[in-house]
Structure 1
Amino acid sequence: MIEFARYAIYYAPREGDFADACAAWLGWDMQAGRAVAQPDLPGLPRSLADLTRAPRKYGFHGTIRAPFRPACIEARLIEAVEDCAASLAPLRCKGLALADLHGFLALLPEGCDDGLRALGEAVIRATDPLRLPLTEAEIARRRPEALSPRQRDLLDRWGYPFVMEEFRFHLTLTDQLRPGEQAPVMAALSDWLAPSLPRPFVIEDLCLVGEDQAGRFHLVHRATLSG
């Protein structure tokens, strides 16, 4: 059994073509807990492995609660995530759009901004008792000197600066790209995802995930939104 030092709460797609395509793009299947072969796609400026180093260890996901050190045993974490999911309804969005977010590529939900903020706030509030307080080293890693006063307040209160009204749900697909790389990578990624991109895009679950000693994230438990 894998021991996890940190946990997080993510959106991750259920098994199917979309999950498979995104896992292959990144080279890590979070649900199976294993590396997968990445496709050899034409037109990329560098190898796909080199373009996806940072997001690979997390697996394809959208962060709802960022990684935290747990204040309780895993069984209690699962119970709390189940309780939270049972109080929330699935969130339906028009679809997903590929976008350049300050130098890296990600998928962004369309037509559900208010619902996403409400979902994020509900999960943050419900799961806050599950985490240990941040250490000084953890605070320093968030570069508090670069945060706005409001973001620093959110970091101190909730353990992460990009929550509540600062929450921006996204599904990361690349590292920071070099100048001139965005267009060819976006073209290759668009072609790769086109057959499987969901429309509508529906968030149906909360996924509790754990970080192994190598820094790779694994699906621990999937809780259906049923409120």
Structure 2
Amino acid sequence: MLDRDIPVGVIALADQIRPAAAETVTTLATLTGSAPVLLTGDNAGAAGRVAAEARISEVHAGLLPQDKVDRVRGLQQDGHRVLLVGDGVNDAPALATADLGIAMGRYGSDLALTTADAVLVRDDLAALPGLIALSRRARRLVTANLVIAGSFISVLVAWDLLGDLPLPLGVAGHEGSTVIVGLNGLRLLAGAAWRRAGGRHTVAPSAEPTP
């Protein structure tokens, strides 16, 4: 007969990090030049284990939603631009506070998906570094397009003020700059743009770890 006061077994439950998490953390740290931070409501022991597996050195555990917001604001006050990745209801306030909030589409809560600035629809952490690199490339193209358009307009206006600009040439110059700007922007649609942006880089979970 078994003694009811003596345990006969132990059942342990633990979160499992995504397969690409550790590699993505390393890639993001290299890409951004900043060490990732783990903000979680889990206890310190569980958070420390997940952080070690994901190669994250700075961990803040046992946080309530407002505590996460305070941590994000603290980083911003220190001069950092904060990108937060999360998927839970508790992450929503911090996602709204961060400079850029990204939610995980498949397992993310409705509140997190609504609050985030962007959603990784396929839940592929490895896409995040490539997304960041591509957005930087897009910004460079936008800047180049503004310079191109501004240069064309400046030349045409100066020509008209200081000389005699034929109307057909003015129309051709203006519309021509529009065509050049459009074609330059279309470069982002090419598959090569994604490959140059990073192909399959990897991500850092900066909120609740997801099983």
The answer, yes or no, to whether TM exceeds 0.5 is no
* More RCO (CA 8 Å, sep 6+): 1
TM-score norm. by structure 2 comes to: 0.24
Larger Rg: 2
TM-score norm. by structure 1 comes to: 0.23
Please identify which structure carries the higher strand content: 1
Please identify which structure carries the higher helix content: 2
